[in-house]
């Protein structure tokens, strides 16, 4: 086969087992976004997804990811975050705030909970007060933020990039 030809393949990357990332979502408006987050979380090797409110995953969107994840649905998120923080997790919000850090320069801890906000309302004051850090993704045009599913994918990729390469 000539060097310029490519064949499609589906190889799994190996990930270190000492990394513990949990994705936690406040109540969302769209189960489509939640299902996209579930699919991306699974593809990123995340094993635990915490959802709140009336969350439901759409299997056609989440696809195989829903089978690989431990999905928990809670009424509210704050008590769950407090418990995770007590067990040594660093709580990192994905939100645009006055003191948020640029995702490109933030250093993730191995034991992290990525807290994802609502599509319109973001993270409320109660949740923001619990966080250790807040990261945001630079936006170069309009609208002023990325879709929640896309933003979560970027943050998950950055976490994996850092912890897989030892950055």
Would 158 be classed as within a structural domain?
A: yes
Domain count, the chain: 1
CATH number of the domain bearing residue 159:
3.40.1280.10
DSSP for 54-69 reads S----HHHHTTHHHHS
Q: pLDDT band for 17, please (50, 70, 90 cuts).
A: very low
70: preceding bond cis by omega (within 30 degrees): no
Q: Which of 132, 128, 111, 113 shows the shortest CA–CA distance to 49?
A: 113
Would 128 be classed as within a structural domain?
A: yes
Q: pLDDT digits over 100-115, tens only?
A: 999 999 999 999 999 9
Would 1 be classed as within a structural domain?
A: no
Would 84 be classed as within a structural domain?
A: yes
Would 3 be classed as within a structural domain?
A: no
Tell me the residue range of the domain where 69 lies: 20-138+145-165
Would 40 be classed as within a structural domain?
A: yes
Would 108 be classed as within a structural domain?
A: yes
For the whole model, what pTM was predicted? Answer: 0.87
Q: For residue 147, how many other CB atoms are within 10 A of its CB? A: 13
Distance CA 37, CA 40 (A): 5
- Partnered with residue 26 across adjacent β-strands are none
pLDDT at 75 over 90: yes
The per-residue pLDDT of the chain, averaged, comes to 87
Would 8 be classed as within a structural domain?
A: no
Which range has the worst mean pLDDT, 9-23, 25-39, 52-66?
A: 9-23
Q: pLDDT band for 51, please (50, 70, 90 cuts).
A: very high
């Amino acid at each position: 086969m000539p060097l310029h030809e490519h064949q499609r393949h589906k190889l799994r990357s190996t990930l270190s087992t000492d990394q513990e990332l949990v994705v936690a979502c406040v109540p969302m408006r769209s189960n489509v976004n939640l299902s996209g987050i579930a699919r991306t979380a699974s593809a990123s090797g995340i094993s635990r997804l915490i959802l709140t409110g009336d969350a439901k995953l759409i299997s056609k969107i989440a696809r195989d990811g829903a089978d690989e994840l431990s999905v928990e649905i809670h009424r509210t998120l704050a008590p769950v975050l407090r418990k995770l923080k007590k067990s040594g997790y660093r709580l990192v919000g994905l939100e645009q705030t006055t003191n948020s850090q640029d995702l490109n320069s933030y250093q993730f801890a191995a034991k992290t909970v990525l807290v994802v906000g609502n599509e319109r309302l973001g993270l409320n004051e109660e949740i923001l007060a619990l966080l250790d850090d807040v990261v945001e993704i630079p936006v170069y045009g309009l609208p002023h933020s990325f879709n929640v599913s896309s933003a979560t994918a970027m943050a998950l990729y950055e976490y994996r990039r850092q912890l897989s390469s030892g950055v």
